[in-house]
Amino acid sequence: MAKSFSGIAYRSTTPHYATEADLLTGEGSRRNGGRWNPIGIAVVYASLTPEIAMAETLAHHRYYGIPIEDAMPRTFVAIESALRVVLDFCDGGVRRRLQVSEERILTVDWRQEARAGHEPITQTIGRAVHEGKREGMIVPSAADPKGHNLLVFPANLEASSSFRVFRAENLHA
């Protein structure tokens, strides 16, 4: 089921966190949790297009009723990735083998479930992938049905894999 992934992914962040170290650690998701990871597991969330990266940012702000202008300014970065062991949840065959539907993973209100003390199905999947020592996952975007996200577990990166910010020298620390 696992496959390799080589390509560019994109992240949107506030200028404060636009450093190579902050962009690649997954520390924010480790502290706060996310759709695909419970608190305690570091994941770097990225999108396969810059448009989806922005859509994900806007969806987050809209969910909490935060005015969009408060999401600005943003810094967009490209991340070059060459990963050897990734699970692709955009592949219907993978979802069927794991008995989870695309509708279920896209429509779960993971924040509400987590607040209620239940681990959402998406976090359960992320935990299992992390514990299975996979480097990452490709998942459908809940913000845009045509989009895909790349999630990387920094602790699981293999020595032969690479994951780096493209043109990081241009970031302002």
| pTM metric for this prediction | 0.93
Residue 102 lies in a domain: yes
If one counts every other C-beta atom within 10 angstroms of the C-beta of residue 6, the result is 12
Residue 73 lies in a domain: yes
* Residue written as token pair 């297009």: 49
Determine the length of the chain.
173
Instruction: Tell me the C-alpha distance between 21 and 1, whole Å.
Output: 31
Q: How far apart are the first and last CA of the chain?
A: 39
Residue 173 lies in a domain: no
- The answer to whether the beta carbons of residues 98 and 129 sit under 8 Å apart is no
pLDDT, one tens digit for every residue, the chain (173 residues): 789 999 999 999 988 888 888 899 999 999 999 999 999 999 999 999 999 999 999 999 999 899 989 989 999 999 999 999 999 999 999 999 999 999 999 999 999 999 999 999 999 999 999 999 999 999 999 999 899 999 999 999 999 999 999 887 777 75
Tally the domains of the chain: 1
Cis peptide before 73 (omega within 30 of 0): yes
If one counts every other C-beta atom within 10 angstroms of the C-beta of residue 146, the result is 10
Instruction: Note down the domain range covering 117.
Output: 3-168
